[in-house]
Amino acid sequence: MSVTLTAPSPGRVFGSGIRRREDPRLLTGTAVFTGDFTLPGQTYAAILRSPHAHARIRKIDTGRAKAAPGVIAVFTGADSDATLKPIPCAWLIPNSDLKPAPYRPMAKDTVRFVGDAVAVVVADSAHQAYDALELIEVDYTPLPAVVDPQKATEAGAPQLHAEAPGNVAFHWTVAGGDIDAAFKSAAVVIRDRIVQQRLIPTAVETRGAVAQYVPATGELTLWNTTQNPHIVRFIMSVVTGVPEDRLRVVAPDVGGGFGSKIAQIQGDFITAFCAMTLGRPVKWVETRTENYVSTTHGRDHVQDVELAATKDGRILGLRATVWAGMGGYLSTAAPGIPTILHGLMLSGPYQIPAVKEDVYGVYTTTTPVEAYRGAGRPEATFMLERLIDLLASEVKLDPVEVRRRNLIPAFENGHAVVTGLSYDSGNYQGALDKAIAHIGYESLRKEQAAARAKGRHLGIGISMYVEICGLGPSQVAGAVGFQGGLWESAIVRFHPSGKVHVFVGISPHGQGEETTFAQIVADELGVAVTDVKVVHGDTDNTPMGWGTYGSRATAVGGAALAVATRRIKDKARLLASHLLEAAVEDIEYAAGKFFVRGSPDKAKTIQDIALMANVAWNLPQGMEAGLEASSFYDPPNFTFPFGTHIAVVEVDPETGHIEVKRYVAVDDCGHQINPMIVEGQVHGGVVQGIGQALWEHCVYDQNGQLLTGSLADYAVPRADVLPDIEVLSTVTPSPHHPLGVKGIGEAGTIASTAAVYNAVIDALAPFKVRAVQMPLTPERIWRATGGRKGA
């Protein structure tokens, strides 16, 4: 072979914080998001939404809207009902008496939340569509509303669905150990009621879709801002009846998700229906106020919790009853969140011999609840970390000491916990020690005492967590009722020039896998990162994937990619052995070169091999042409990242003002592919969790009207109210993962709410304040302290 290509010097890029490959297009306005698409013959949809939380629809008059300028069509639920099936719930948790009620893409007889879709206008322009919306007349008979998930289960509460008496969508229980014995023998029992307030995820790009239907072929293409385009194809096919082979879903650049772009929502199906009916492309993009009522919310738990312990602070058992608001209908993954992702993580990083939790999923006349960053795990971590601080206070021990007495000792390969899970690896003490050393815990306590003496109120809050991610073994997914697999797939394709295309099933929306996945390939195969193009998001040219959520994209998708690259290497080694005329056992590989053992100058680069494999002039007998491999990776277990966060706050009891003065995060996500990206994930996650502790609250009034229906009312954290976050890490590789990675997308959010909350309550210790409802607004703090300067 006379043609050779120079191998770039790859170095080791796994583990280095290189600049992201996706950034140039995002920095120059050339990235294309769903709302940026305009197709030939484009039309625009606007959706009429219920102003009532609960009402019967008596009559809809669309006559005037149909006659308005530019209007092409107006449809109601009566029009779409024959075509569109109800939106399926896709996480049917077993042994829970689950009662999914029909969730229509457009309501027909009854609306069950403010924002429930009632009609749609399609017009030549968006302005004309919105103008015509105001001409639709709907005659409603209002019905009583109920927004509190616990109250919705009480006798006499308004009933949402005939299928679910008492509004209970499911009742799920997790139990392990002898919980009755634990409480019987306990010297100390701590009780609390925790309200995990409802939150609005608020991705800065709202939801939207552009649908194009070709009547002659029956093909539907949907550009959709989603975290999981392949699941969209699957569910869209079920609802619209368009077969999967004629359905193409494209997730172009996606402007954040945080769980709010997992579920398929009404607008997606309505947009598809309009395009199918009219044979013209239809675009629908939510306004922000529409987003706040129509796209899913998060959290919304009422928790009654009890902790049994010895008088020296050792935990004996944890018992809880949770009412989890589901909203008016069960969203795609909703039932799995307060159960599998919450209840199974109840024991956290601690040795807890017995747990029992009853979870009631409850219909309320509110926007459906779904995953929001952390999804179930923040609600578990907060519960535990609150109870441990209350325990510390009760037994008069330092909160760090109580944690130390209960931690699971370090382990490298498997630790069974009381809920039935087996954690993969952990060194919880290590993360705690590092955080305490970094922040200077002992001297901080002295500083706090000195400040108190002068009438200043510092607080120190600790939060330890272990979370479940890398979802997950498909067999387990099936056993817990997830209506799909949870494996991932990847294809690695070498071109003759040695450049590489990678096609993956996962679909990032800000997490940077176009870079980190290129780093995996570069490191495994000795090519430059800039020679690897990662393709994702289009169901027509990428292999199946189950989505980017639950911190699973790198943990599972990255593993699939690693396996595929190793298959490439196996084939390349065979070809190198042939070209170098040496036995395959004698071929060694290092840094992009295959060479004969003992003769490093007798070598072929991966680029040499790629060229020969592609031209196929000289292959060993029986070898197929091309250098390409695919893999389907089904993980043997979940991954369990962990860490310790510490917040330091100062509270002004006279005004209720809280300042977060320092924030230290020690996270362990195993090996880090790109530490710069890991740090960025921690920053963003921590801030979302601080947001829950201090500012964010999705508020409904008793009639089910959303009072925080815009960004003027819902308090998303802004730059001027946040501290710099000090990010550290420990490294405990996952023993079962091909790259030893675990996942980092949600860790910050899981840990930070409790860290900040605990710090505030610690600051208020002189006032004997035991609990304040989140978010910890100045008014609530002021009321808790009575506006006194000192105790």
Partner 1 sequence: MKVPITVSVNGRAHAAEVEPRLLLVQFLRDVVGLTGTKIGCDTSQCGTCTVLLDGVAVKSCTCLAAQADGSAVTTVEGLAATGVLTPLQDAFWEKHGLQCGFCTPGMLFAAHELLRTNPNPSPEQIRHGLEGNICRCTGYQNIVRAVQAAAAAGGRA
Judged by beta carbon, residue 372 or residue 640, the one nearer partner 1 is 372
- Contact between 301 and 323 under an 8 Å Cβ cutoff? The reply is yes
Minimum distance between the CB of residue 253 and partner 1, rounded to whole angstroms?
7
Exactly one of 1, 4, 12, 23 binds partner 1 (CB under 8 A); that residue is 23
Closer Cβ to partner 1, 298 or 512, answer by number: 512
With vertex at residue 334, the alpha carbon angle to CA 332 and CA 335, rounded to the nearest 5 degrees, is 115
Q: Applying CB under 8 A, which part among 26-34, 274-282, 313-321, 354-362 lies near partner 1?
A: 26-34
CA dist 550 and 466 (Å) reads 13
The 758-787 site mask, x for binding partner 1 (CB under 8 A), equals ------------------------------
Q: Quote the DSSP letter at residue 555.
A: I
Least Cα distance to 652 among 641, 661, 643 occurs for 661
- Please tell me the distance from the alpha carbon of residue 254 to that of residue 704, in angstroms, as a whole number: 31
The sign of the dihedral angle between the CA atoms of 553, 558, 563, 564 is positive
512 is an interface residue for partner 1 by CB under 8 A: yes
In angstroms, the Cα distances linking 576 to 495, 527, 569, 581, 608 are 17, 16, 10, 8, 9
For the bound state, the minimum distance from the C-beta of residue 219 to partner 1, rounded and expressed in Å, comes to: 25
* 679 in contact with partner 1 (CB under 8 A): yes
- Exactly one of 443, 454, 719, 768 binds partner 1 (CB under 8 A); that residue is 719
As given in the structure block, the two tokens for residue 716 are 């998303």
Residue 34 CB, shortest distance to partner 1, in Å, is 11
Please check whether residue 460 is in contact with residue 645, taking contact to mean a CB–CB distance below 8 angstroms: no
Q: Which is nearer to partner 1, 227 or 271 (CB)?
A: 227
Residue selected from 26, 175, 584, 591 as contacting partner 1 according to rule CB under 8 A: 26
Pick the binder of partner 1 from 140, 258, 640, 695 (CB under 8 A).
258
Nearer to partner 1, 576 or 706 (CB): 706
> What's the rounded Cα separation, in Å, for the pair 121 and 64?
12
C-beta separation of 338 from 93 below 8 A: no
Q: For residues 346 and 309, is the Cβ–Cβ distance under 8 A?
A: no
Residue among 278 and 687 whose Cβ is closer to partner 1: 687
Position among 237, 277, 289, 703 found at the interface with partner 1 (CB under 8 A) = 289
Q: Which of 33, 411, 589, 782 lies at the binding interface for partner 1 (CB under 8 A)? A: 33
The neighbour count for residue 497, using CB atoms within 10 Å, is 12
Q: Which residues pair with 697 in a beta bridge?
A: none
**Choice between 352 and 518, CB closer to partner 1:** 518
465 within 8 A of 550, measured Cβ to Cβ: no
> Strand 247-250 and strand 219-224: pairing?
parallel
Cis peptide before 472 (omega within 30 of 0): yes
For partner 1, the binding residue among 67, 78, 187, 204 (CB under 8 A) is 204
Single out the residue of 687, 755, 761, 769 in contact with partner 1 (rule: CB under 8 A).
687
The reply on whether position 40 binds partner 1 by CB under 8 A is no
Which of 676, 731, 765, 771 is in the footprint of partner 1 by CB under 8 A?
676
Considering the complex, what minimum distance in angstroms separates the CB of residue 626 from partner 1?
34
- What character string, x for contact with partner 1 (CB under 8 A) and - otherwise, covers 238-257? ---------------xxxx-
Please identify, among the stretches 401-409, 639-647, 722-730, 775-783, the one whose residues bind partner 1 according to the rule CB under 8 A.
Answer: 722-730
Q: Using CB under 8 A, which of the segments 341-349, 610-618, 677-685, 732-740 binds partner 1?
A: 677-685
Nearer to partner 1, 206 or 542 (CB): 206
Count of residues engaged in binding partner 1, rule: CB under 8 A: 57
Q: How far is the CB of 495 from partner 1 (least distance, A)?
A: 25
Q: Tell which one of 24, 41, 102, 787 touches partner 1 (CB under 8 A).
A: 24
Determine how β-strand 219-224 pairs with β-strand 315-327: unpaired
The three-class DSSP label of residue 308 is strand
Q: State yes or no: residue 677 binds partner 1 (CB under 8 A).
A: yes
DSSP class of residue 244?
Answer: G
Rg value, the chain, Cα = 28
3-state secondary structure of 237: helix
Four-residue CA torsion sign, 653, 658, 660, 661: negative
Instruction: Count other C-beta atoms under 10 Å from residue 790's C-beta.
Output: 13
- Under the binding rule (CB under 8 A), the answer on residue 659 touching partner 1 is no
Q: Please report the beta strands in 557-626, taking only residues with DSSP state E, as ranges in sequence order.
A: 587-590, 593-596, 599-605
Q: Does 124 bind partner 1 (CB under 8 A)?
A: no
Binding site for partner 1 (CB under 8 A): 17, 19-20, 22-33, 35-36, 127, 202-206, 253-256, 258, 287-289, 509-512, 676-677, 679-680, 683-688, 710-712, 716-722, 724-725
